[in-house]
Amino acid sequence: MPAGFRFLLATLLAGAGLLASVPAARAELVVFGDGRVVKAEGYRVLDDELEIRLPGGGSYRVDLARVDRIVDDEVVVDSVAVEERGFPRAAAYDLSYSAGRKPLFGSAYDALIEREAKRWNVDASFVSALIRAESNYEPRAVSRKGARGLMQLMPATARRLAVSRPFDPASNVGGGVRYLRELLDRYGNRPDLVLAAYNAGEGAVETYGGVPPYRETVSYVRRILGWWQPSDLSASR
């Protein structure tokens, strides 16, 4: 295991321990497609609408297609050493497609994952680890936030990626891997930032300068990087 990757896992584990010791400022962050963020006391999906409960009382409904994502469990930023999480800046990891790096879990969707990973030049083992975390390979999975399918695309994301049938495995994985390609192009060979952006949104990664200090996001990144082993670019040169 590359030394930089060991560093990442160690710091994420340490960060998770710190998060566990800090009382959560319980909140739901509803992120809209236009970048607006609303802090909510709670929410529920009602068909194609999202009902947002406000901290001061009351609620209102919005079209679910306007919602980019929902992030749980915001933590007070001052309580977390955000800058200590992530890869050393000098570390480089190869997240491009390689025929020798196969999907990890022997699912019925391995051939589909392989095909879309090759099409978009993304590491197939990385895609498979993300799908396991998102839906555990259930093609009709629907989260309580309204995310759908194998790669748990929110309606707004699916629409942007031209995924009209989110429960169709080929359509869902095709769109999800395309989105991963966009994130890889944006964040380079930084799998921690790519995963954080997939979970919490690019805006959160930019705001916090790295993995945002959300319990859900830190746990998500740590879980996937526990399954997936990177290919070290420096070792192959």
Q: 38-74 pLDDT, tens per residue?
A: 888 889 998 889 999 988 889 999 999 999 888 875 5
User: What is the mean predicted confidence (pLDDT) over 145-169?
Assistant: 95
**Is 134 tagged catalytic?**
yes
Q: Using the predicted structure, report yes or no on whether residue 14 has a pLDDT greater than 60.
A: no
Task: Pick the more confident residue, 77 or 29.
Answer: 29
Residue 143's nearest CA partner among 214, 69, 193, 213 is: 69
Q: Using the predicted structure, report yes or no on whether residue 201 has a pLDDT greater than 60.
A: yes
Q: 85-120 pLDDT, tens per residue?
A: 444 544 558 999 999 999 999 999 999 999 999 999
Backbone angles phi, psi at 3, to 5 degrees: -60, -40
User: What is the mean predicted confidence (pLDDT) over 193-222?
Assistant: 91
Distance CA 47, CA 21 (A): 37
pLDDT band at 167 (very low <50, low <70, confident <90, very high): very high
Sign of CA dihedral 165, 140, 204, 14: negative
Range with the poorest average pLDDT among 19-28, 101-110, 126-135, 183-192: 19-28
Share of the chain above pLDDT 90, in %: 57
Mind listing the domains of the chain with CATH numbers? 3-24+91-231 (1.10.530.10)
Q: Using the predicted structure, report yes or no on whether residue 12 has a pLDDT greater than 60.
A: no
Quote the pLDDT of residue 81.
Answer: 39
Quote the pLDDT of residue 118.
Answer: 98
Quote the pLDDT of residue 27.
Answer: 72
Quote the pLDDT of residue 86.
Answer: 44
Mean pLDDT value across the chain? 83
Single-letter residue type at 28: E
Query: How many other C-beta atoms are found inside a 10 Å radius of the C-beta of residue 27?
Result: 17
Per the residue annotation, which of 74, 116, 134, 202 is the catalytic one? 134
Task: Pick the more confident residue, 45 or 3.
Answer: 45
Q: What is the 3-state secondary structure (H, E, C) of the chain?
A: CCHHHHHHHHHHHHHHHHHHHCCCCCCEEEEECCCCEEEECEEEEECCEEEEECCCCCEEEEEHHHEEEEEECECCHHHCCHHHCCCCCCCCEECCCCCCCCCCCCCCCHHHHHHHHHHHCCCHHHHHHHHHHHHCCCCCCECCCCCECCCCECHHHHHHCCCCCCCCHHHHHHHHHHHHHHHHHHHCCCHHHHHHHHHHCHHHHHHHCCCCCEHHHHHHHHHHHHHCCCEEHHHHC
CA distances (Å), origin 98, targets 22, 55, 102, 117: 41, 48, 8, 9
